[in-house]
Amino acid sequence: MSEVHTEADILFTGISQLVSPPPGLQRGAAMRAINVIPEAAMLVRGGVVAWVGPARSAPAAAHIHDLGGAAVVPGLIDPHTHAVWAGDRLSDFEARVSGVAYEDILARGGGIRRTMQATAAASTADLVRLARPRLLALQASGATTTEVKSGYGLDFAAELRMLEAVRTLQSEFALVPTLLIHVPPTSGRAEYVRAVCEELIPQVAAAGLAAAVDVFCEAEAFNVAETRTILEAARRAGLPFKLHADQFQTLGGTELACDLGALSVDHLEVSGPTQIAALAASQTVATLLPGVTLHLGLPAAPGRRLIDAGAAVAVGTDLNPGSSPVYSTQLALALAVRLNGLTPAEALSACTVNAASALGLQGRGALAPGQRADFLVLNSSDWRDVAYTLGISPVGSVYRGGLNISI
């Protein structure tokens, strides 16, 4: 098969449409300015895109792989998941759909705290075994790079086991690990924040176990002052940072994160004009998680208004057992069109180049020379199927670094 020719030139032909945003962060109206090349070809050399253009002008190559008239788009990048956990939240789900609020379940010691108990009792090997099928599902849905957070560790040892599980899985998947400071203990929170800043973050940074630090800034989690303390500790340790904010209340976390230069602020379901203006005026990516809107019945984050204000928007699944049991990055893209008001082209930019920027990654997310050859061959000759189809995957095969990794 052509996939074995990793170092030699391989020319992919039979592409009905080759569709991509330009490389790099796209904000505002630029998110809609994607390139569509009809009857295209793509040359891949050493796992990197070497040339794209009309098939009639394609260069000669040692190997040719005919994709049979399919549309090709960049591999999706899922910038927000909690794919490592143990236990389940099925009784929380049943209570919630009978009328008990997510925050009330958490305040009573359930929700995230329930997943923390199950995760703390799991070994690293258990966590790897539980996360693998979830990551395979995301990959089959089109994710060629996936962020994975810790955050269900009741104590620091459990947090480190979660990050070690991610490190183990990095040999099978392209993963970006994030240290998530999720909820404080029920007593001794000042001491906990101190230990996070002085012990956990420096230890994780020194071991190279996380690429960024995240905090859940919310009434039932960390307040703005605590969040600032933790983000400043991340900065001192040389780690970029991001934030969960404006999911239930606007506490000021979004404004703080923009001010401190966060990579992204994620959730934003209840963001208003002040938060939209702060994001639009910053380099911080606004990451939407439409699975949460669907599963918790929350308001939809103001995706349309963010883009119209000039912000850079990304989209992710937020795969987790409590607020978004969504195992498909393509579904998150498709939901962002329905729930957050993105156009299909904006949603494609959100799930590729902007998601890469939300993770601080360069060199992937677009199909252009010099970019890693991560791409999806759709079960369709029209790229818009990636934003249209619900409930069955429009993704035919998944290529990472020029190799077909479909199972």
The nearest distance, CB 218 to ligand NIG, in angstroms, is: 7
Q: Does 346 bind Fe ion (CB under 5 A)?
A: no
Please say which residue, 152 or 399, places its beta carbon nearer to Fe ion: 152
Q: Does 218 bind Fe ion (CB under 5 A)?
A: no
User: Distance between CA 181 and CA 355 in Å, rounded?
Assistant: 21
Size of residue set near ligand NIG by CB under 6 A: 13
What is the secondary structure of 64-112 as a DSSP string?
Answer: EEEEEEEEEEEPEEE--B-----S--HHHHHHHHTT--HHHHHHTT-TH
The nearest distance, CB 252 to ligand NIG, in angstroms, is: 17
Which listed option, ligand NIG, Fe ion, none, makes contact with residue 178 (CB within 5 to 8 Å by class)? none
Enumerate residues 6+ apart whose C-beta is below 8 A from 4: none
The nearest distance, CB 70 to ligand NIG, in angstroms, is: 34
Judge whether 55 and 40 are in contact, CB under 8 Å.
yes
Judge whether 322 and 111 are in contact, CB under 8 Å.
yes
247 labelled binding-site residue: yes
Please say which residue, 23 or 79, places its beta carbon nearer to Fe ion: 79
322 labelled binding-site residue: yes
3-state helix, strand, coil in the chain (%, to 5): 40, 25, 40
User: Distance between CA 362 and CA 61 in Å, rounded?
Assistant: 27
Binding mask 294-333 for ligand NIG (x = CB under 6 A): ------------------------x-xxxx----------
Q: Does 318 bind Fe ion (CB under 5 A)?
A: yes
Binding mask 181-220 for ligand NIG (x = CB under 6 A): -----------------------------------x----
Scanning 93-101, 109-117, 139-147, 341-349 for contacts with ligand NIG by CB under 6 A, the matching segment is 109-117
Question: Counting Cβ atoms within 10 Å, is residue 182 exposed (0-12), middle (13-18) or buried (19+)?
Answer: buried
Which listed option, ligand NIG, Fe ion, none, makes contact with residue 292 (CB within 5 to 8 Å by class)? ligand NIG
249 labelled binding-site residue: no
What torsion, rounded to 10 degrees, do the Cα atoms 21, 22, 26, 32 define?
-40
Scanning 156-164, 318-326, 341-349, 377-385 for contacts with Fe ion by CB under 5 A, the matching segment is 318-326
Please give the residues from 32 up to 91 whose contact with ligand NIG meets the rule CB under 6 A. Answer: 82
Please give the residues from 216 up to 235 whose contact with ligand NIG meets the rule CB under 6 A. Answer: 216
What is the secondary structure of 274-317 as a DSSP string?
Answer: HHHHHHHTSS-EEEE-HHHHHHH-PPPP-HHHHHHTT--EEE--
Question: Counting Cβ atoms within 10 Å, is residue 117 exposed (0-12), middle (13-18) or buried (19+)?
Answer: middle
User: Distance between CA 351 and CA 348 in Å, rounded?
Assistant: 5
Please give the residues from 272 up to 291 whose contact with ligand NIG meets the rule CB under 6 A. Answer: none
Distance (Å) of CA 382 to CA 19, 40, 378, 379: 10, 13, 8, 9
Please say which residue, 111 or 142, places its beta carbon nearer to ligand NIG: 111
Please say which residue, 247 or 330, places its beta carbon nearer to ligand NIG: 247
Which listed option, ligand NIG, Fe ion, none, makes contact with residue 323 (CB within 5 to 8 Å by class)? ligand NIG
Neighbours of 261 (CB within 10 A): 13
Q: Report the SS3 class of residue 227.
A: helix
Please say which residue, 292 or 403, places its beta carbon nearer to Fe ion: 292
Annotated binding site for N-formimidoyl-L-glutamate: 152, 320, 322
Annotated binding site for Zn(2+): 80, 82, 244, 318
Give contact residues for ligand NIG (rule: CB under 6 A). 82, 111-112, 115, 216, 244, 247, 292, 318, 320-323
